[in-house]
């Protein structure tokens, strides 16, 4: 299959064709997801909780993400892979250069970093050095200790405007994708319409360009799944049908429904 590129994702946004993405951590699941039609996958630092059993993403290292990125790339050659830059791996531009290089060599097409306009210089410099960047705004799990827990973000007008300003600034700096996590649907709509780049939501309503779920949430494995998650395996009885249903409901706008979103 022809490799998926950022140009393909921009075209989907232009055509208003919603797309589904999912986390992947190994070759077997990556291949299964690709066979069902998932063309974008995230090697997320969520593996700290889903694979390693920690209570946050903070213990995850660059070496962990690199290992799992190599594993996923072995399973899929055409998919667009986004690799998370873990906690404190991009605290300075110099750190980000070295660590992003490790992940790109492991098979990633893009790296993802969490944070607002303070990252503009890093985004600009990474992009200039041939490393595409995906931003992550809203609930940023690496900042759980600053945020005081896993809480919905952007509910006040001031915080919503700050998030929108951050998104616009990061796009101007060179960001080419954005993940919005746990924000009200209306704010997600405002951000999606303000940006030319694709916006992928998770707990951000159904008005973004794409959706992403942690695979363990989508398959009902997580013991205490978040409000925005849906167990597609429960509805279908087998993993392949569950992934196809997830894709269908994202593309049609059925998922996420109001019960999976925030006001």
Partner residues linked to 210 by β-bridges: 19, 200
Cα(120)–Cα(236) distance, integer angstroms: 43
DSSP assignment string, the chain: -PPP-HHHHHHHHHTT--EEEEE--SHHHHHHHHHHT--EEEE-TTHHHHTS--SSSTT--HHHHHHHHHHHHHH-SSSEEEEE--TTSSSSHHHHHHHHHHHHHTT-SEEEEE-SGGGHHHHHHHHHTT--EEEEEES-GGGHHHHTSS-----SHHHHHHHHHHHHHHHHHT--EEEEES--HHHHHHHHHH-SS-EEEESS-S-SSEEEE-HHHHTT--TT--TT---HHHHHSSHHHHHHHHHHHHHHT-SS-GGGS--
Burial class (CB in 10 A: 0-12, 13-18, 19+), 229: buried
As annotated, the active-site residues are: 181
Structure-token match 């797309």, residue found: 19
Structure tokens, 223:
């013991």
């Amino acid at each position: 299959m022809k490799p998926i590129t950022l140009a393909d994702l921009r075209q989907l946004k232009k055509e208003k064709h919603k797309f589904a993405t999912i986390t992947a951590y190994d070759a077997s699941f990556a291949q299964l997801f690709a066979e069902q039609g998932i063309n974008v996958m995230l090697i997320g630092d969520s593996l700290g909780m889903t694979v390693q059993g920690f209570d946050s993403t903070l213990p995850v290292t660059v070496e962990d993400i690199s290992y799992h990125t190599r594993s996923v790339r072995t399973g899929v050659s055409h998919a667009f892979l986004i690799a998370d830059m873990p906690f404190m791996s991009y605290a300075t531009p110099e750190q980000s250069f070295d660590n992003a290089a490790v992940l790109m060599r492991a098979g990633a097409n893009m790296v993802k970093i969490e944070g607002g306009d303070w990252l503009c210089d890093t985004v600009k410099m990474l992009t200039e050095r041939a490393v595409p960047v995906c931003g992550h705004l809203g609930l940023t799990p690496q900042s759980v200790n600053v945020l005081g827990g896993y809480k919905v973000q952007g509910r006040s007008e001031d915080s919503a405007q700050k998030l929108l300003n951050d998104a616009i600034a990061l796009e101007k700096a060179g960001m080419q994708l954005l993940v919005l996590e746990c924000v009200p649907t209306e704010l997600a709509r405002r951000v999606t319409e303000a940006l030319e780049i694709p916006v992928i939501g998770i707990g951000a309503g159904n008005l973004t360009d794409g959706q992403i779920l942690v695979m363990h949430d989508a398959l009902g494995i997580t013991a205490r799944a978040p409000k925005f998650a849906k167990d597609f395996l429960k509805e279908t009885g087998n993993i392949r049908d569950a992934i196809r249903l997830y894709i269908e409901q994202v593309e049609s706008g059925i998922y996420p429904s109001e019960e999976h979103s925030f006001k």
